[in-house]
């Protein structure tokens, strides 16, 4: 049984974590922990992948006598879980492989090693859980183990605050999920998913559950405005854990949303299809704009996760809109787009975080303004990172483009929707998606260009050395996967078919039997895309061009000083920096989105002081939502604080008053 | 047999695109000179320029990495492939289905991505200024372009340019406000993407306002030739897209035979001539704008595109 095997794997991970507590000080612990994690996740990846391709092994259920006494712990392996298991364990295996090399430089392995396998186990457990209690337990376990990993370097400035904010937001999200499951279970209290599925809640309750699921899963995934913790917490962890948190844990959150809204909640209402895509569109644009303003490489990547979560939620929301209007084929397309983006994002985001980790390991720097020229010192890392950048910027022939293309195709089906609001709203969301895709390209030109190209800005960047073999071994398969999923998307779409069928009742046409491996979501006359042909054509045209030119024209070249319009400056600080690269975009969008203020401080003539440019960016959701909330909480807490210092008479009056109030409530209730 | 014929036609189209592109650029250049009262270079000057550059050696800046050397080939190949997938004189070619309009826009995005990286590679301030501004312009032009694609494909029920061309020739197009708005938006995007006046000036050097030219400032020899060729092809591509989507008259349908292809080719050349003429007139009659006016210009294009899409639902065909 696949399910039992997976549970044994989770147990093995937990055991490894426990054992790591005891032996973290040993030198071999690092290799052992990551080695075991690598083995377990690889096996789980293969098992889940096989069960997705051959769905005969799916559908097993298992009840263990742990957890709540009257409930037990239910586990089930269905297509949705199997797909997300593939995502989690692929990311997990890659992170373990990376950790084999990267983890050796860890200054405090005792704070990382026990929690790393526990974190992996928690994520796997969320996917297999088939009752509310197990789900929430696993969810919270995942949150806490990742929190511990965020706090691994808690002495570094900012990390403790990031961990605190993460803990707060994670508890808040779990609270929302507890309430959502409470509403789903209803007064009878059937917490097993099987029971919930059979009794969908009435419309008003379903709406409340949707909102709670958006808050609960959205806060973990990073939907704006619940994203604030993410760019602080993800980069604070060691890089392979950052990759797991950004590339994989956010996907577990997406899984939570899909499980609740698509599986348990019954048929959707049409306005869900307005709220979710709009949130997704705003999240996508805000996320990429935040990322553009950032010059900390890891934080840039974390902000960019917010953008991709937005794209995924656009797809999910479209699927809801189509499903509410009984258009299963269109819903299948939108859901395929969303889930394919889940897979793609987990691949390239892990790859990019590994690249950032390799840079961090080689230079000790995360700040792009202090890097540069690394392409000469770390050519292999640079190449892998470049592939990741191209893929995440949705450039053909890589994989990011395929899922965004499918999302666009789903958006183009929106005029068939009967609701006027959706007819108008969804093309506007399409505009937001197009904007975010274009900005993403700018963002990653900056990320790669400033970090790896140009001239080294500091001594550490000048002396960087290529990263170790384990790390490269983790990056290159992911880079290959970016290309492979881009040029052969048909196979990946077909592998998703059982998931889509289980959730929407429809399927895309089978893709891998079409000529030349083209993908055709609806009909050939409507739209088609063939990444393989494009890739071959580009490779052929470039190769042919190079061959012809080198043979018939000129192949001579020589090195000289840069031209730079006649005024090359030897100092690397005259290069464009991350800040100056994004300055035009800051000018265009920043004044509205970030309330950016620029002040030029030019000293008076004769004053030898340097001129300065002050830029001030505000985080609007933080100012408008979080600061007032924090102020309110502290205000209320201060008021309530007085209750600690009442006299005995005061306490007695309070108890009496409470009793009377409760009795009155009870009498009114009946 | 039919497949071989189709392949030949497809190959012919790729060559036509490549051969005509410098001619279009030279034609626009000559025409602009005439409109300004100068004699201007001969029509074939761009071919001569390219040949001259190809024969010269490359002067690589110290510190230029492989990205700098690979980028021209990739930029050229990507742009060429994108142009080959746009129906020029015939629709429904063998490989037209490999990429729809969204993919073509994205292919151009790939080319721009590589070029912007190459601009940053040497580590000069002019390269940086070019890359940064190019990406700023693209970040608005690309969504505007996609909104135009939305409008066209919602109307035609397809994102394939061949299907769009067939629809536009058909009876149920009608005169729509949306189409007019989309056309205006598309022209604005085309001007920005091809670095033409008023957004950028293709003829300038040593100006703090240059964008595209600043990005490729360090290039020389065969690398520069490829980049120049790519920019010629890109101009041709945009004129072809406009012609295919908004003026598909005379375009042949695959399999119609030799005569239809010839007619299509003649119509295509005529459309290129008309497009080039309009571009030259437009460029000579307008002044270049400041860099930070460009977002307003492209923002207007984006809004027009969005408006065109939304008006589809409320406008009535006349």
Contact A554, B222 (CB under 8 A): yes
A438 vs B142: CB contact, 8 Å cut-off?
Answer: yes
A557 vs B221: CB contact, 8 Å cut-off?
Answer: yes
The average pLDDT across B74-102 equals: 89
Which of these, A452, A462, A242, lies nearest to A357 by C-alpha position?
A242
Q: CA end-to-end span of chain A, whole Å? A: 51
The angle formed by the CA atoms of residues B38, B40 and B43, to the nearest 5 degrees, is 150
* A434 contact residues in B (CB cutoff 8 A): 142-143, 146-147
Q: Where are the domains of chain A?
A: 582-616, 620-669
Q: Is the pLDDT of residue B318 over 60?
A: no
Closest residue to B65, CB basis, from A375, A412, A574: A375
**pLDDT band (50, 70, 90) for residue B90:** confident
Residue pLDDT, tens place only, B200-226? 887 777 666 788 888 999 999 999 999
Element spanning A61, H or E? strand A61-64
List the structure tokens of B80.
């060429």
Return left, alpha or beta for B38; rule: phi > 0 is left, psi -120 to 50 is alpha, else beta: beta
* A445 contact residues in B (CB cutoff 8 A): 113, 116-117, 120, 131, 135
Which residue of B18, B82, B103 is the best one to mutate when testing the A interface, meaning the one whose CB has the most A CBs within 10 A?
B103
* A381 contact residues in B (CB cutoff 8 A): none
Residue carrying structure tokens 């930070």: B292
Task: Flag whether the ipTM exceeds 0.90.
Answer: yes
Closest residue to B163, CB basis, from A525, A540, A582: A525
Which residue of B75, B119, B123, B215 is the best one to mutate when testing the A interface, meaning the one whose CB has the most A CBs within 10 A?
B123
How far is it, in rounded angstroms, from Cα A383 to Cα A475?
10
Angle between helices B161-169 and B125-156 (to 10 degrees): 50
Q: Is B147 on the interface with A (CB under 8 A)?
A: yes
Closest residue to A562, CB basis, from B57, B61, B226: B61
Which residue of A383, A541, A555, A566 is the best one to mutate when testing the B interface, meaning the one whose CB has the most B CBs within 10 A?
A541
B112 vs A441: CB contact, 8 Å cut-off?
Answer: yes
pLDDT given at position B211: 87
pLDDT higher at A331 or B318: A331
pLDDT given at position B290: 85
* A524 contact residues in B (CB cutoff 8 A): 97
Contact A74, A193 (CB under 8 A): yes
Q: Where are the domains of chain B?
A: 2-314
How far is it, in rounded angstroms, from Cα A356 to Cα A370?
14
* B65 contact residues in A (CB cutoff 8 A): 375-376, 453
Question: Which chain A residue is nearest to residue B110, measuring alpha carbons?
Answer: A395
| DSSP for A181-249, written as a single string | HHHHHTTTT--BHHHHHHSPPPHHHHHHHHHHHHHHHHHHHT-TTS-TTHHHHHHHS-HHHHHIIIIII
How far is it, in rounded angstroms, from Cα B210 to Cα B207?
6
Which residue of B81, B96, B215 is the best one to mutate when testing the A interface, meaning the one whose CB has the most A CBs within 10 A?
B81
* A541 contact residues in B (CB cutoff 8 A): 76-77, 80-81
The average pLDDT across B155-173 equals: 87
pLDDT given at position B315: 65
Residue pLDDT, tens place only, B248-274? 888 888 777 788 889 999 999 999 999
CA A161, A166, A171, A176 torsion: positive or negative?
A: positive
Shortest alpha-carbon distance between residue B241 and chain A (Å) = 17
CA A148, A150, A155, A159 torsion: positive or negative?
A: negative
Shortest alpha-carbon distance between residue B212 and chain A (Å) = 14
* B306 contact residues in A (CB cutoff 8 A): 427-428, 431
Closest residue to A525, CB basis, from B60, B103, B160: B160
A395 vs B106: CB contact, 8 Å cut-off?
Answer: yes
Residue pLDDT, tens place only, A5-28? 999 999 999 999 999 988 877 778
Note the pTM of the prediction, 2 decimals.
Answer: 0.95
Shortest alpha-carbon distance between residue A487 and chain B (Å) = 11
Shortest alpha-carbon distance between residue B294 and chain A (Å) = 10
pLDDT given at position A522: 76
* A444 contact residues in B (CB cutoff 8 A): 113
How far is it, in rounded angstroms, from Cα A252 to Cα A60?
21
A560 vs B59: CB contact, 8 Å cut-off?
Answer: yes
Q: Torsions phi, psi of A599, nearest 5?
A: -130, 125
Question: Which chain B residue is nearest to residue A391, measuring alpha carbons?
Answer: B110
Contact A450, B119 (CB under 8 A): no
Enumerate residue ranges in chain A where pLDDT < 70: 57, 59
**pLDDT band (50, 70, 90) for residue B228:** very high
How far is it, in rounded angstroms, from Cα A362 to Cα A370?
13
Which residue of B14, B110, B295, B296 is the best one to mutate when testing the A interface, meaning the one whose CB has the most A CBs within 10 A?
B110
* B253 contact residues in A (CB cutoff 8 A): none
B218 vs A563: CB contact, 8 Å cut-off?
Answer: yes
Closest residue to B150, CB basis, from A412, A453, A538: A412
Which of these, A248, A217, A245, lies nearest to A232 by C-alpha position?
A245
How far is it, in rounded angstroms, from Cα A496 to Cα A510?
11
* B221 contact residues in A (CB cutoff 8 A): 554, 556-557
Q: Where are any strands of DSSP class E within A581-666? A: 597-601, 612-616
List the structure tokens of A356.
């950032």
* A539 contact residues in B (CB cutoff 8 A): 77
Closest residue to A559, CB basis, from B60, B77, B109: B60
Could you say which residues from 288 to 307 on chain B have a Cβ atom under 8 Å away from some Cβ of chain A?
291-292, 295, 302, 305-306
Which of these, A464, A366, A381, lies nearest to A158 by C-alpha position?
A366
Closest residue to A449, CB basis, from B80, B117, B160: B117
How far is it, in rounded angstroms, from Cα A355 to Cα A366?
11
Shortest alpha-carbon distance between residue A125 and chain B (Å) = 39
Question: Which chain B residue is nearest to residue A376, measuring alpha carbons?
Answer: B65
Residue carrying structure tokens 């830029």: A615
pLDDT given at position B141: 95
Task: Give the contacts of A201 (CB within 8 A, at least 6 positions apart).
Answer: A183, A184, A186, A209, A265, A266
pLDDT given at position A245: 95
Shortest alpha-carbon distance between residue B243 and chain A (Å) = 20
Could you say which residues from 9 to 48 on chain B have a Cβ atom under 8 Å away from some Cβ of chain A?
none
pLDDT given at position A161: 93
* B159 contact residues in A (CB cutoff 8 A): 408-409, 412, 526-527
Q: CA end-to-end span of chain B, whole Å? A: 45
B59 vs A553: CB contact, 8 Å cut-off?
Answer: no
List the structure tokens of B60.
């690589």
A448 vs B117: CB contact, 8 Å cut-off?
Answer: yes
Q: Is B266 on the interface with A (CB under 8 A)?
A: no
A545 vs B57: CB contact, 8 Å cut-off?
Answer: no
B117 vs A401: CB contact, 8 Å cut-off?
Answer: no
Q: Is the pLDDT of residue B137 over 80?
A: yes
Q: How many CB pairs under 8 A join A and B?
A: 284
Could you say which residues from 53 to 112 on chain B have a Cβ atom under 8 Å away from some Cβ of chain A?
54-63, 65-67, 73-74, 76-78, 80-81, 84, 95, 97-100, 102-103, 106-107, 109-110, 112
**pLDDT band (50, 70, 90) for residue B317:** low
Contact A149, A115 (CB under 8 A): yes
Shortest alpha-carbon distance between residue A605 and chain B (Å) = 25
């Amino acid at each position: 049984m696949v399910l039992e095997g997976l549970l044994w794997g989770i147990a093995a991970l937990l055991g490894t974590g426990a054992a790591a507590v005891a032996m973290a000080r040993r030198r071999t612990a690092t290799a052992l922990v990551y080695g075991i994690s690598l083995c377990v996740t690889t096996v789980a990846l293969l098992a889940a992948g096989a069960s997705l391709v051959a769905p005969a092994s799916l559908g097993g259920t298992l009840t263990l006598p742990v957890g709540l006494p009257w409930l037990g712990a239910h586990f089930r392996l269905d297509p949705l879980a199997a797909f997300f298991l593939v995502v989690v364990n692929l990311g997990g295996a890659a992170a373990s492989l990376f950790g084999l090399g990267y983890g050796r430089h860890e200054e405090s392995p005792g704070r990382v090693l026990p929690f790393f396998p526990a974190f992996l186990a928690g994520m796997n457990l969320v996917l297999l859980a088939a009752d509310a209690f197990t789900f929430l337990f696993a969810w919270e376990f995942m949150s806490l183990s990742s929190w511990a990993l965020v706090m691994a370097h808690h002495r570094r400035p900012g990390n403790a605050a990031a961990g605190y904010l993460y803990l707060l937001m994670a508890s808040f999200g779990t609270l929302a999920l507890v309430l959502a499951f409470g509403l789903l279970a209803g007064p009878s209290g059937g917490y097993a998913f099987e029971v919930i599925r059979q009794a969908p809640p009435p419309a008003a309750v379903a709406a409340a559950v949707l909102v709670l699921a958006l808050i609960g899963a959205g806060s973990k995934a990073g939907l704006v405005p619940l994203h604030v913790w993410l760019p602080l917490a993800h980069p604070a962890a060691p890089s392979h854990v950052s990759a797991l948190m950004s590339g994989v844990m956010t996907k577990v959150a997406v899984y939570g949303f899909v499980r609740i809204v698509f599986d348990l909640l019954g048929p959707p209402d049409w306005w869900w299809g307005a709220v979710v895509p709009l949130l997704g569109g705003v999240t996508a644009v805000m996320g990429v704009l935040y990322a553009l303003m950032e010059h900390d490489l890891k934080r840039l990547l974390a902000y960019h996760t917010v953008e991709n979560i937005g794209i995924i939620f656009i797809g999910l929301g479209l699927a809801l809109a189509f499903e509410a209007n009984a258009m299963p084929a269109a819903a299948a397309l939108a859901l395929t787009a969303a889930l394919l983006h889940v897979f793609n994002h987990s691949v390239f985001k892990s790859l990019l975080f590994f690249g950032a980790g390799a840079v961090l390991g080689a230079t000790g720097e995360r700040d792009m303004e202090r890097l540069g020229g690394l392409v000469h010192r770390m050519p292999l890392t640079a190449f892998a990172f470049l592939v990741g950048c191209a893929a995440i910027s949705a450039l053909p022939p890589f994989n990011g483009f395929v899922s965004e293309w499918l999302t666009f195709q789903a958006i183009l089906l929106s005029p068939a929707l009967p609701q006027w609001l959706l007819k108008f709203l969804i093309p506007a969301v399409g505009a937001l998606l197009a904007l975010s895709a274009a900005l993403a390209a700018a963002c990653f030109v900056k990320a790669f260009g400033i970090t790896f190209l140009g001239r080294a800005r500091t001594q550490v960047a000048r002396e960087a050395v290529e990263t170790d073999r384990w790390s490269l071994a983790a990056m290159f398969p992911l880079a290959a996967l970016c290309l492979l999923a881009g040029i052969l998307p048909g196979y990946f779409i077909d592998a998703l078919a059982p998931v889509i069928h289980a959730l929407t009742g429809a399927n895309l046409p089978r893709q891998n039997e079409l000529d030349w491996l083209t993908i055709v979501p609806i009909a050939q006359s409507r739209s088609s895309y063939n990444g393989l042909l494009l890739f071959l054509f580009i490779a052929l045209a470039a190769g042919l061009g190079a061959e012809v030119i080198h043979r018939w024209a000129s192949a001579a070249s020589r090195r000289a000083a840069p031209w730079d319009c006649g005024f090359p400056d030897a100092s690397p600080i005259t290069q464009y920096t991350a800040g100056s690269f994004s300055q035009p975009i800051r000018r265009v969008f920043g004044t509205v989105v970030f309330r950016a203020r620029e002040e030029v401080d030019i000293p008076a003539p004769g004053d030898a002081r340097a001129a300065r440019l002050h830029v001030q960016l505000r985080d609007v959701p933080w100012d408008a939502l979080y600061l007032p909330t924090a102020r309110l909480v502290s205000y209320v807490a201060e008021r309530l604080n007085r209750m600690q210092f009442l006299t005995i008479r005061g306490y007695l009056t309070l108890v009496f008053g409470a009793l009377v109030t409760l009795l009155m409530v009870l009498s009114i209730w009946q | 047999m039919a497949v071989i014929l189709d392949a030949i036609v497809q190959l012919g189209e790729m060559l036509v695109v490549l051969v005509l592109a410098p001619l279009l650029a030279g034609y626009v250049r000559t025409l602009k000179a005439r409109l300004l009262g100068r004699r201007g270079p001969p029509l074939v000057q761009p071919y001569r320029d390219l040949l001259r550059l190809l024969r010269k050696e490359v002067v690589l800046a110290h510190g230029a990495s492989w990205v700098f050397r690979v980028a021209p080939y990739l930029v050229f190949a990507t742009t060429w492939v994108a142009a080959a997938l746009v129906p020029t004189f015939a629709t429904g070619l063998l490989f037209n289905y490999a990429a729809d309009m969204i993919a073509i826009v994205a292919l151009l995005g790939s080319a721009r991505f590589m070029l912007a990286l190459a601009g940053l590679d040497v580590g000069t301030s002019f390269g940086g200024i070019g890359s940064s501004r190019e990406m700023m312009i693209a970040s608005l032009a690309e969504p505007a372009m996609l909104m135009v694609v939305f409008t066209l494909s919602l109307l035609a029920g397809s994102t394939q340019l061949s299907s769009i061309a067939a629809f536009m020739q058909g009876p149920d197009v009608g005169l729509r406000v949306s189409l007019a708005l989309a056309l205006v938006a598309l022209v604005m995007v085309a001007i920005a993407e091809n670095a033409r006046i008023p957004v950028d000036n293709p003829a300038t050097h040593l100006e703090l306002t240059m964008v595209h030219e600043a990005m490729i400032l360090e290039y020389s020899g065969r690398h520069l030739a490829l980049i120049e060729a790519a920019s010629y092809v890109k101009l041709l591509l945009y004129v072809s897209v406009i012609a295919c989507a908004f003026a598909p008259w005379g375009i042949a349908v695959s399999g119609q035979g030799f005569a239809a292809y010839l007619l299509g080719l003649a119509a295509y050349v005529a459309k290129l001539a008309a497009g080039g003429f309009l571009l030259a007139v437009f460029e000579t009659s307008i002044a270049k704008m400041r860099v930070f006016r460009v977002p307003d210009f492209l923002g207007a294009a984006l809004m027009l595109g969005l408006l065109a899409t939304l008006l589809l639902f409320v406008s009535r065909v006349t």
